[in-house]
Chains A and B, each alone.
Chain A
């Protein structure tokens, strides 16, 4: 069995009906309900992994709260978005990411700014992720 949505007894009947939404993941439509995170949509659709690590190993959600960066994917052309923290919006075009064929020329999209004084002011992030094109 896979992850699945459940109903709780505290879900009062007669409340606003769930609003469906649809996103695409590598071009394929995936249905969810408004209020879910992108990770929630993917998990509820039965997908436990969507990213590939350097070795080619599959990755999905691990910490669930934005700490581990295992769940990152590209949302509407913006890479490295934490799926567990980003709320899904109807029409989001999601593409999965891979580091398996790490591209040295990949665009660095995140920078570090000094937080504690003894680090350089702006530091290119060491491991940009190139976007995968798995369909």
Chain B
């Protein structure tokens, strides 16, 4: 056997997403002996958690951190092909009779450009780790400029050295509000207050439940304590049981109206306060990016966590319902970066055909299970109160793209013919805009179900529960790019003529030269 054919005989593992989950998966798959193609739409690895500055800003300042070491180890590995600025726009199941991982269609080049390079990857096993995005519940005025998802504020600080304002209000629910507050303060932004919608009792009960689980996330308690100290030092109030119910302004946000909430998030009348702001950041937890798992045919699991409580179902080995397709990170449940890492490590090792009984795996599995318990704890401590639609008005925009308002949804639901979500969609145009319902889909589904009188939480009758996330393409592709034939199937063997030097992740040279 020649060296080349020995390389060909290795398993080819394709990992989509280079966040904490995907990077750990790639490292484990390499350790198990596979060839790995690691793909991410971003220019640099790290995902949302380890978002780094572009080199032009002086590059990442984390040379010695565990993340930097992992990044170097993975991207510099001779069996790893790193594809930066590469979007997976479709997964193709070649033959429904032949169960196995789908073909992976990718586009490499500047985001949304029109001359990106097309490739088709043929994995022996696929690890999906596309992460999540902020979940933001609508409220009057949330479509004004200057109102941001909490993660946007974080991404702008970490990736662009940019603060969004100097009279910032941060509101919503979940522990994620705290690192955002910390980043804004560290960057010198003026922060008015941090509002956690759930009452202190709910938060405390969630966190105090089964205290032994917390010791499994050793950093977490200390991290929370650090945030509390930081807020106190900057005299930024952290209020529970209060939220933003309206944003106002001419052409951009100028004022936020906050109010006290009962535990079910109904507004306590007479408690409204108006605060002058130049930016408003809102986050109500995260929604998993489910388009790729759905395109691969993976079964979803419904959790009782309110709207968008759907995640990819995986077994104890992180294997989805589709043979050869593994899932790791936030798409299986929102538990933070450490949990995403352990899931990724397990998924990568097993996808590569690594020994399932390897002793080192025992610890990984244990940590993974603790991560899952932690996710359940988060959901319990920071639920979405069932009465939140109480702050909607008839003219409140629900679908940001099509500007479908709450009144239109109410009318469509009252109309017998508009009973099924698909019909609602056509009648109101909700979910039909450029974002393809990523932002409003689960919310429209929840509101429609409720307006029809069904209890929230259950899947809409007669439709797969995944309907809000089903969309024909994972990422936009342009007609010209579609017409071009892709490069020959990429089986992951290193192509010496490929100008993408894996040791220089932020310079995907091939993308630039293919741009007209």
Contacts and interface: CB of A to CB of B under 8 A. Distances in A.
A15 B58 contact: yes
Contacts of A91: none
A106 interface: no
Contacts of B147: 62
B58 A16 contact: yes
A135 interface: no
A115 B473 contact: yes
A61 B482 contact: no
Contacts of B186: 8
Contact of B53 (A35, A81, A84): A35
A114 B252 contact: no
Interface string B110-150: 11111000000000000000000110000000010111110
Interface stretch (B160-168, B198-206, B349-357, B451-459): B160-168
Interface stretch (B170-178, B383-391, B433-441): B433-441
A127 B401 contact: yes
Interface string A115-126: 111011011011
Most chain B CB neighbours (cut-off 10 Å) among A5, A7, A61, A68:
A68
A78 B114 contact: yes
B43 interface: yes
Contact of B112 (A8, A36, A81, A122): A81
Contacts of A114: 90, 472-473
Contacts of B167: 1
Given A68-B439, A113-B477, A114-B472, A78 B133 contact: no
Nearest to A80: B112
B21 to A, nearest CB: 16
Contacts of A81: 111-113
Interface stretch (B224-232, B290-298, B306-314, B325-333): B290-298
B86 interface: no
B111 A48 contact: no
A47 B77 CA distance: 42
Contacts of B438: 67-68
A3 B151 contact: no
B23 interface: no
B471 interface: yes
Interface residues of B, number: 78
Contacts of B474: 115
A35 B43 CA distance: 11
- A-side binding surface: helix, strand, loop or mixed? loop
A46 B58 CA distance: 23
Given A64-B149, A65-B133, A87-B43, A112 B472 contact: yes
A93 interface: no
Contacts of A44: 160, 162
A37 B105 CA distance: 25
A82 to B, nearest CB: 6
Interface string B255-292: 00000000000000000000000110000000001010
B58 A11 contact: yes
Contact of B470 (A3, A34, A35, A116): A116
A65 B251 contact: no
B130 to A, nearest CB: 11
Most chain B CB neighbours (cut-off 10 Å) among A16, A18, A82, A85:
A85
Nearest to A1: B166
B56 A19 contact: yes
Contacts of B363: none
Given A2-B278, A59-B143, A110 B472 contact: no
Nearest to A65: B155
Contact of B111 (A10, A53, A82): A82
Most chain B CB neighbours (cut-off 10 Å) among A40, A43, A113:
A113
Interface of B: 41, 43, 48, 53-58, 61, 89-91, 93, 96, 105, 110-114, 133-134, 143, 145-149, 151-156, 159-167, 186-190, 251-252, 278-279, 289, 291, 294-295, 297, 400-403, 432-435, 438-439, 470-474, 476-479, 482
**In the complex, the 8 A-B pairs of residues with the closest C-beta atoms, listed nearest first:** A64-B152, A35-B56, A35-B54, A115-B295, A85-B111, A112-B472, A49-B145, A69-B434
19 contacts: A4-B163, A6-B187, A33-B57, A34-B54, A36-B54, A53-B143, A64-B154, A64-B156, A67-B435, A68-B435, A72-B112, A109-B478, A113-B105, A113-B472, A115-B91, A115-B291, A116-B294, A116-B472, A126-B433
Interface of A: 1-8, 10-12, 15-16, 18-19, 33-37, 40, 43-44, 48-49, 53-55, 57-70, 72, 75, 78, 80-82, 84-87, 108-117, 119-120, 122-123, 125-127, 129
